[in-house]
Structure 1
Amino acid sequence: MANAYNILNDPFLNKGTAFTERERESLGLIGTLPNKVQTIQEQAKRVYEQYELRPEGMQKRKFLMEIFNTNRTLFYYVVEQHIEELLPVIYDPVIAPAIEKYSEIFMKPQGAAFLSIDNPNDVKASLENAAGGRKIKLIVVTDGEGILGIGDWGENGVNISVGKLMVYTAAAGIDPREVLPVSLDVGTNNETLINDPLYLGEKHARVTGERYYDFVDKFVNIAREVFPDVYIHFEDFGRDNATKILNKYRKEIPVFNDDVQGTGIVCLSGVLGALNISKEKFTDQIFLTFGAGTAGMGIANMMYREMLVEGMDPEEAKKHFYLVDKQGLLFSDTAGITPEQKPFVRDRSEFKNADELTNLEAVVKAVHPTVMIGTSTTPGAFTEAVVKEMAAHTERPIIFPISNPTKLIEASAANLIEWTDGRALVATGVPSAPVEYKGVTYHIGQANNALIYPGLGLGVLASEAKLVTDGMLSAAAHSLGGIVDPNEKGAPVLPPVSKIQSFSAKEAVSVAQAAIDENLVAKGITDAKAATEKMKWIPKY
C-alpha cells in the first residue's frame, strides 16, 4: 500500500485513472482507483470542462495548479491543447496576484528549492532534497526583488520560477523532470510582508553587499557541483544586481537573465518584424527607451549590439539611443547614473533646451524617435499628445508599451492604433485583443519573453552549450523576427502565442546552430535539428 500511496502522490509517476489494468496489478494499485481506465484524451476533456466552470483569474489558476501538483503529464497535455488560453493563466498576468497571495494560499512547494541566506550551509542539502534524485538540467532562480511590475515580494517570488518553468515545458518541451525552481530568500524590504503573520519568508530587511553576493556565488557553485550540466536562468533580480550577477558568470558557465537579455531579444525581434512590414532599415531607427532599469537597459543593449552587427561604428550607434526615466532624459551629469546607463546618456550641450527635457512629451518633441519602448510601469505614460507628436515625424512609428501586468501598461493597443490613424506598429507586454479600425483588423503582437526563452533554452540544452553568447541571442531574435507576414494588412510584428510551440522549435535549431558554429557544444553534436528533436519531451503516458 505504501508503494501505491507513493506512486499516486508523485506527480511525475501518477497517471490517475489512465493506469492500465496490467499497471494497476503490477504496481499494487488494485482498488485504489475507480475501475474505469481512461485515455489521456478523456482525462484532458474532463479537466478542461472543470476548468471552464471556475471563475476567471485566480480560481482558474488554482484549479490548474491542483492538476500540476497531481499529474504533470496530464497538466502539460491540457496546457498544450489550449496553450493560447492557458498561458496567461499559468503565467503572466494571472501569476502576479498569485505571487502576492502566495503565503496565504500556500498548499504545496511545487518541487521548489528554498534557500535562505540565514542558513547558507544548507544550500547543498536543499538542492539535493528538492531534486529528489532527478538529474536537473535547468534552474530558474529568483531572489524576489523585482517581480514583474509589482516589485519586492520576497519568498513569494518563488512562484515566478515555477511559472517560468511551466512555460519552458509547455512551449519548448523541456522535460519537467529535469527542471528545478529555486528561491533565494535574502529578506525583503516589503513592510507588508514583514508585518504579515502568514508570510513564509525571512522577516528582515534584504541583505545587501558582500554577504549577498557571497550567497549568490555559493548557490551558483553548489548548483554546478550537484548538477554539472545545469543551465541557470536568473529571474526578477533587482536592478542593482541583475546585470552585475549576469556579467559575473556569463563567460564561465551557461547562464541567462530574462529581464536583462530576454526582454531585449523579444523587443529586437519585434522591431525586426516591424521593419519587415515598413521596409525601413534598422540602422536608420532612433530608439527611445522609457524606463531605464534592468529591462530598459537590456533592450537598449540588444538594439545597440544589432547596430554593430549591421556594421555601424560603435560611437555612431550610440547616438541613436535616448534613455528617459522618471527625471526625464538621462544626461551624463544626471545623479545616480548606473554603469549600464552610462554608455547611452547624452550631453546637455546637444540640446538648447536641455533643462526642459524633464518629461516624455518634451523629449519626444526634441529627438523624434522612430521606436519607443516602455518598461516604466507607469500606467498611461504614452499619452495621446506623446503618441501624436511621435507619429508626426515618422511614417510608421514603432511603439511597444511592454510594462506588465495590465494595470501598469503605458498605453492600450487600441489607443495607439487610433491616435496614429492605423500607422503604428504595436506590440504590448500583455495579451491584447485584435483592434478593429477603419475596416482593418490589427493583430497585436505580444512582446512576451515567453516567445524567446523557451526556444533559447531548448537550443542551449540540446547542444549542451558551454556558454550563452551574444551570437546565440542574436540568432534567437532573428529567428523570431522573420516569422511575421509583412504583406498581410494589420499583421502583427511578432508571431501569435498560439504558434509558440512551432516557432520555439525553429528558434531552438537556430540557437543550437549558432552554438555549433561558435564551437561551444559537446563533442559529437553536429546536427542542430537532430539534437533539438532528440531533447524534446512530449506529454504522453
Structure 2
Amino acid sequence: MTQEVPYRRDFELDTTSIDAPIRIRSRGRAVLADPMTNRGTAFTIEQRNTLGLVGLTPTGVTTLENQAKRTYAQFHRASTPLAKYLHLAQLRDRNEVLFYRLLTDHLEEMLPIVYTPTIGEAIERFSNEYNRPRGVFLSIDHPDTMEDSLLNFGLATDEVDLIVVTDSEGILGIGDQGIGGIQIAIGKLSVYTAAAGIHPHRVMPVVLDVGTDNLGLLSSDLYLGERHARIRGERYDEFLDQFVKTVHRVFPNAMLHWEDFGTTNAHRLLTQYRGELCTFNDDIQGTAAVVLAALLAAVKATGMSLEEHRIVIFGAGSAGIGIANLIRDTMIRDGNTTTEADALRQFWAIGINGLYVDDQPELLEFQKPYARPRADVHTWDVRNPHHITLDDVVRHVRPTILLGTSTKGGAFTETIVRLMHEHCERPIIFPLSNPTSRAEATPSNLIKWTDGAALVATGSPFPNVDYKGVRHYIAQSNNALIFPGLGLGVAACNAELITEGMIYAAAKALADMSNEWRHGSSLLPGIDDLRRVSATVALAVASQAEAEGVARTPLTDPIQQIFGRMWQPKYPTIEAI
C-alpha cells in the first residue's frame, strides 16, 4: 500500500511512464518556484493563461532546444570548474528538465563537472557555498527523527527506486568531509538520471551525519554538520542498522547504494546487508565490474585465458580487493579453475606495508585471503623480507596483469614496466587511481615503454596516444559505465537483491561492447555513448536477476521494459488541476 507523504504536492506525475502528463495544481509564482513544474520562457501563451503566469515571464515563447543553447553558452562563460558546477546546480534547482537536457546532451564534457573530479571541491566547500537544500540529512544525535526525515523528502513508499547514501568518511581522494558528503550522493544520482534515465523524482540522496574528524571543518564557523568527532563503534552500528531497517520498511522497493564509506565500514556493511535487501557499493562492486569489463576485453586480445594470467594488485585496499574478488569469482565461473584456492594463487596483493604475507598482523579480514604464505617468498632475493616492494614482486612473479589502485602517482616506473614487458608479449597495465596526478603511470609512457604492446585502461580521462602510426584509444575505467545501467536494470525488474551474478552480467555486457581485436582500440565504450551502454547493461542485469529468481517483476517484454523506464528530459504535457 502506498504510504502518504506528509504534505500535498503542487503537482501529480506518474514517474513510471516516460510519456505521462504533469498535472499542476499550483498557480502563479509557485509554478515557477518548483524545478519540476517550471519551464520558464517555454510556457506557451495558453499555459501562461491557465496557470496564472501572464506577466511573470518575458513575453517571448521559446523552445527547450533554445533554452539549452542559451544555458550552454552561460556554462562556458563560467571561469572555473567550481563556477561551472555551481552554475549547473543553480540550473537544476530552477528547472530540472532543462538541467538534465543540458547534461544529457553534453554528458562527456559535463561529467567531470557534476561528478569527479570537480565535485570534490564542491564537497569541500559545501558549507561555504551552501544555497538550497537538496537531499536528506540524518543525524546520529537525533535518530528518532529518521523516518520523518525520509518521508519529508516527499516521496511515497512505491515512488523510490534508488537511494544513494554516504557517511562521508572516504570521499574520493580527500577523506572525511562531514556533512558535505551529501554532494557526492547528489552527483551520483545526476549520473544515474542522465546516463540511464532513472527518473529524478524516484531517487533520494542521503547523508548520515555521524560527526567528522576533519579539524578544518570543526574549526569553521560556517560548518553545517554535527560539531563533534566522528562516532564509531556500537553507537555507529546501531545508527546504521536503524537506517537500513527504516529504509527497507518505508521504501521496500528501493536499491540502497553505499557511497564513499571508509574502507573497513564499506566491506563490513556490504557483507552484513547484501543478503537482506537490494544493496550495492559502487566503490567496491562498481569499480570491480568496470575494471573486469576492461580486463575481459584485454585478456581476449592476449590470446590467453583469464586463469593463466598472473595478477598483481598494487594498492589492495577496498577497491583493489573488490576488483580481485570479482576476477577470482570470474575465474571460477568461466574458466577451468575449480576452487577458490586455485584462483587465489594467481594474485599478488600489495599494500602500504608491501606484499601481503600471511604473517602480517595488520591485514584486515577482507585482505587476508590474498596474503601469500611466507614459504612462497622465503627464497626471494629482496632487501627487506618484511616489506616486499612492487619492484620485488615484478622481478620474481613476472606478472601479465598489473592493476594500480594505490593513489601513488608514478609508481609504475619505466624499469618496472620494461621488466614486465620482457616476459610478457602484451602486458595488461591499468593505472586506475584518480585524479590524473595520482595515476600510477601515464598511457603515453606505458605505450612507449612497451613499444606499443601494452593494453591500457585508466581511472582518469587521458588523451589518446599516437605511436608508430597507430592511434591508441585509452579506455577510461569509469564507474559511470556500470552503475547507471545496474540501477536501471534493478528498477525495471524490481530486484529484491543484487547478486554477484548480476554484477558479473553487467561487466560481461560492457566487455562485449569493445573492439579488442583491432590494435589500438579502446577496451571500453566511450562516455559519450552512456545511454546505449546503460540500456545494454540494464538488460543483462535484469535478465540475470530473473534467471536467479530475484526479480519480482517478470520480464515479459525486456527491451520495452528497459526502454520504458528511461526518462527523457523533455517537457511533458501540462494538465491544470
TM-score of the superposition, structure 1-length normalised? 0.97
Aligned counterpart for 1:530 among listed residues 560, 567, 575: 560
In structure 1, the residue matched to 2:160 is: 136
Determine the C-alpha separation between the residues in 2 that align with 1:42 and 1:439. 42
**1:141–1:234: 8 Å Cα contact kept in structure 2?**
yes
Q: Does 1:124 find its partner at 2:154?
A: no
In structure 2, the residue matched to 1:202 is: 226
Q: Call closer, same or farther: CA 1:424–1:524 in 2, change over 3 Å.
A: closer
Q: Does 1:499 find its partner at 2:529?
A: yes
**1:288–1:371: 8 Å Cα contact kept in structure 2?**
yes
Aligned counterpart for 2:363 among listed residues 337, 345, 353: 337
Structure 1 residues 81-230: aligned runs within 5 Å: 81-109=105-133, 111-131=134-154, 135-230=159-254
**1:328–1:363: 8 Å Cα contact kept in structure 2?**
no
- Please tell me the residue identity of whatever aligns with 1:428: T
- Give SS of 1:3's match: coil
- Compute the displacement of 1:188 (Å): 1.2
- Compute the displacement of 1:523 (Å): 4.4
| CA-to-aligned-CA distance 1:460-510 (integer Å, 9 cap, x gap) | 110001110111111000000111112333101111111111111011001
In structure 2, the residue matched to 1:411 is: 441
Determine the C-alpha separation between the residues in 2 that align with 1:444 and 1:124. 46
- Compute the displacement of 1:438 (Å): 1.8
| CA-to-aligned-CA distance 1:239-295 (integer Å, 9 cap, x gap) | 110111111111111100001111110110010111232232111111111112110
In structure 2, the residue matched to 1:361 is: 391
Structure 1 residues 27-66: aligned runs within 5 Å: 27-66=51-90
- Compute the displacement of 1:365 (Å): 1.2
In structure 2, the residue matched to 1:467 is: 497
**1:131–1:180: 8 Å Cα contact kept in structure 2?**
no
Determine the C-alpha separation between the residues in 2 that align with 1:228 and 1:26. 38
Q: Does 1:289 find its partner at 2:319?
A: no
Determine the C-alpha separation between the residues in 2 that align with 1:413 and 1:463. 39
Q: Does 1:72 find its partner at 2:102?
A: no
Determine the C-alpha separation between the residues in 2 that align with 1:513 and 1:6. 43
Q: Does 1:458 find its partner at 2:488?
A: yes
In structure 2, the residue matched to 1:5 is: 29
Report percent identity of matched pairs. 45
Determine the C-alpha separation between the residues in 2 that align with 1:397 and 1:98. 38
Determine the C-alpha separation between the residues in 1 that align with 2:528 and 2:84. 19
**2:493–2:554: 8 Å Cα contact kept in structure 1?**
no
Q: Call closer, same or farther: CA 1:282–1:225 in 2, change over 3 Å.
A: same
Determine the C-alpha separation between the residues in 2 that align with 1:108 and 1:472. 37
- Please tell me the residue identity of whatever aligns with 1:379: G
In structure 2, the residue matched to 1:478 is: 508
- Give SS of 2:264's match: coil
Aligned counterpart for 1:327 among listed residues 334, 353, 367: 353
| CA-to-aligned-CA distance 1:309-342 (integer Å, 9 cap, x gap) | 1241221111001110111101111121111111
- Please tell me the residue identity of whatever aligns with 2:549: N
Structure 1 residues 266-281: aligned runs within 5 Å: 266-281=290-305
**2:543–2:555: 8 Å Cα contact kept in structure 1?**
no
In structure 1, the residue matched to 2:400 is: 370
- Compute the displacement of 1:67 (Å): 1.0
- Give SS of 1:211's match: helix
In structure 2, the residue matched to 1:312 is: 337
Determine the C-alpha separation between the residues in 1 that align with 2:64 and 2:438. 39
- Please tell me the residue identity of whatever aligns with 1:120: P
Task: Point out 4+ residue stretches in structure 1 off by more than 4 angstroms.
Answer: none
In structure 1, the residue matched to 2:575 is: none
- Once superposed, what is the RMSD of the aligned Cα atoms? 1.5
Structure 1 residues 376-395: aligned runs within 5 Å: 376-395=406-425
Q: Whose relative contact order is higher, 1 or 2, with alpha carbons under 8 Å and at least 6 apart? A: 2
TM-score of the superposition, structure 2-length normalised? 0.91
Any gaps of 5 or more consecutive residues in structure 2?
A: 1-24, 572-577
**1:399–1:425: 8 Å Cα contact kept in structure 2?**
yes
Any gaps of 5 or more consecutive residues in structure 1?
A: none
- Give SS of 2:357's match: coil
